[in-house]
Structure 1
């Protein structure tokens, strides 16, 4: 469970989420992330280090450049954790939908009875 809490703490920062959004487009150099995310170089470097240390981002040297990319594993772990809650809420929503449908049918039956009664009278 500590992984999830750590992951949520890492992604709670809006600057890191912006960097993650930029990296969704594929490998990027720091300068590209700075430009696309609109964050100063020092901030991008600091947040990339945090994302890298937490396992969300990998760095690949390419000559003089360092290319950063998202790693899928922590996102899969988050998805698996969230899936448990999605199943819970989907089951509750299914029950709610069934209850609404039953109420709608009862109202339709009541409306028909009223109409039939007024036609007879």
Structure 2
């Protein structure tokens, strides 16, 4: 999980993920969309690939990058554990606020 989060922490890599969310792209297309040089795009894609977030399909002299589904499912599962904790805490806060409201109404 740490490798995934580290890879996503850099803004250009996050933008690449957002581009690839819609459809696969070549390195050149990614570089053009982000306004960066192709070697920079390749470096970011290598980090994303090492983290398991993207895969490459070579077609002739082009390299087509697309997202891998599994790491995002793992990330969602990990985030889900935090959602459950926060939902429980919000439920507790809601109950506490309801108790306070009832006490205030009882004083009137």
TM-score by length of 2: 0.90
Q: What is the match of residue 60 of structure 1? A: 57
Query: Greater Rg, structure 1 or structure 2?
Result: 1
Paired positions, count: 108
Query: Does 2:101 match 1:104?
Result: yes
- State the SS of the aligned residue for 1:24: helix
Note the residue ranges of structure 2 that are not aligned, 5 or more in a row: none
Q: Which of 42, 45, 50 is the aligned partner of 2:47?
A: 50
Following TM superposition, the consecutive aligned residue runs of length 4 or more in structure 1 with deviations greater than 3 angstroms are none
Unaligned 5+ segments in structure 1 are 114-121
5 Å-filtered alignment, 1:20-31, equals: 20-31=17-28
CA RMSD of superposed structures (Å): 1.4
Give the TM-score taking structure 1 as reference length.
0.81
When structure 1 is superposed on structure 2, of 100-109 and 72-81 the one drifting more is 100-109
Correspondences of 1:22-41 after superposition (within 5 Å)? 22-41=19-38
